[in-house]
Structure 1
């Protein structure tokens, strides 16, 4: 699998990342092991988790597999903090550093490669939040730092603050939702990240699963939209406007002899500023389909057509 530099840094990661949000909830340890094996065998290196995924079970499963299935030194392990289990944002220095210690304990690691602020906390001074990133690197608990779900002005402010004085740790990544069904990041967040030399990690690159085409005829049993804990997550992308985009993706896939999933992933993977989409699969079979996108580069005319049809819903420039 091709690797890319993450932002303006020396860290390289595979241009497809493995997301683990379902691990410990919809994906059991055996399926997680099969996913990690398939990902590593395909040359993947970037594995992304968070302290709140399945109340910490995702990190525990990943930590076990790093000792049983994969070579930890060959992987780039990323996790996040700043959201409490009750959903409240907390990016105080106290909470963040304690959360990082908890993540390391669950992962069974002395350090992670990338530690990300999971959300912006307006109740904590930004300089306090960012000082926790500096401390995490200085103490050896992480090698690099990033942000997630930050607005454009928040990315610009945090990026500028960290580069304004020697000794502060530069932010190298910004993880945000980005797909043919969600292009709002192109308004401000993506340009801000690019200007600051921050690499984009695209979460939900398959439009929360809708871009696979599985919902064209309804909601199949066993899908995320059929699960009580994920139904509200998927529902916003089941309207008529999104359906038109899905049909365009399906048409492109049929013309190229590939799956809609591969088309959707290849589109976001090669957008300006994107380092890697983060794919979260429920099963190893689903992940295997995503890995096939590595061999696909969209022809310019198909890319332009998808750009046009997806602009109809987002209004992106």
Structure 2
């Protein structure tokens, strides 16, 4: 497992981050979740990502349990705040009240005194940036948070936060961004990536496998396989349904010979593709079985030749989405290529 700096900060993260969205506390049994974390540690993964909203806190609890016997300084734990964790008007957003209360609740569930990376899960239009950034800065000063990040913010929103932090004379600044990014969804490339590279903000990208679509397990001419996210319970089918469609699945099938030629599985190829960019500090993987973690972690340190990258672009062609306007709306936008042929 190789490690990269998180932007221009002094923090190093593993090229592969283990995340537990839609898995721990929701789709995966506790014993299996613990086994997946052990597999991640065995593979050399040191960075773990979760959020207060994942399984309404249960995901943080399971991760905390899984890491309880691990030397705290040997791992990097990231979590998030913003999305609704209750029915009250203050149980969401980036107000000082919610940020402070959510951070303390996350620390209790994770069983730790601090998190390495605390991220604003979405942008909050209702709360002044000054209020949010001062609350974040206070948490850093208190030693409860070491580094700050955001997730799915647009370039103007990130730039505004950097400006406000400078104007307020805050010591802490945003060093990480967590966007969706994969072969098909490249909406951060036109605006977010250039800004972040200029400002020293590293990308910790999620969905490098596009909800499993880029593994090739979904066929254009057949039903989804049993025990896949598309056939599981909970919220997973709603998310995976946004990226299924015969046109897309046929193109993905045409990527398999390229993966075979490179000596990689489809999943390894997709993860290595996200890591081809120096702007990406880490790619987040999830898993429902330990062997998935072991296989996908080997994508770390795999270089992809320029000719292979060009072939991937040729196969996917006009199905690649690069519209920067979709960055902030990624949770609600249904890509054009997910529609039936």
TM class by shorter chain equals over 0.9
2:107 to 104, 117, 128: 104
CA deviation profile, 1:113-137 (whole Å, cap 9, x unmatched): 1100001011111111111110110
Contact persistence 2:184–2:320 (CA under 8 A):
yes
RMSD between aligned residues? 1.8
**Closer/same/farther in 2, CA of residues 165 and 245 from structure 1, 3 Å limit:** farther
**Closer/same/farther in 2, CA of residues 155 and 248 from structure 1, 3 Å limit:** farther
**Closer/same/farther in 2, CA of residues 315 and 308 from structure 1, 3 Å limit:** farther
Task: Extract structure 1 runs of 4+ deviating beyond 6 A.
Answer: none
In structure 1, the partner of 2:244 is 238
Mapped partners of 1:138, 1:208: distance in 2 = 37
Q: Which runs of 5+ in 2 are unaligned?
A: 324-341
In structure 2, the partner of 1:271 is 277
SS in 2 for 1:186: coil
**Structure 1 length-normalised TM:** 0.94
Residue 292 in 1 paired to residue 298 in 2?
A: yes
SS in 2 for 1:7: coil
Task: Return 96-105 or 156-165, whichever deviates more.
Answer: 156-165
* Number of aligned residues: 316
Contact persistence 1:82–1:89 (CA under 8 A):
yes
In structure 1, the partner of 2:73 is 73
Q: CA deviation at 1:189?
A: 1.8
Contact persistence 1:6–1:13 (CA under 8 A):
yes
Task: Return 40-49 or 306-315, whichever deviates more.
Answer: 306-315
Mapped partners of 1:261, 1:301: distance in 2 = 19
Contact persistence 1:181–1:245 (CA under 8 A):
no
Q: Which has the higher helix share?
A: 1
In structure 2, the partner of 1:9 is 9
Residue 42 in 1 paired to residue 57 in 2?
A: no
Trace 1:1-317 onto structure 2 (pairs within 5 A): 1-21=1-21, 22-68=23-69, 70-85=70-85, 89-216=92-219, 217-228=222-233, 229-294=235-300, 296-316=302-322
Mapped partners of 1:183, 1:248: distance in 2 = 20
Mapped partners of 1:234, 1:190: distance in 2 = 25
Mapped partners of 1:308, 1:93: distance in 2 = 47
Contact persistence 1:19–1:280 (CA under 8 A):
yes
Mapped partners of 2:193, 2:301: distance in 1 = 25
**Closer/same/farther in 2, CA of residues 242 and 67 from structure 1, 3 Å limit:** same
**Closer/same/farther in 2, CA of residues 280 and 157 from structure 1, 3 Å limit:** same
Structure with larger RCO (C-alpha < 8 A, sep 6+):
2
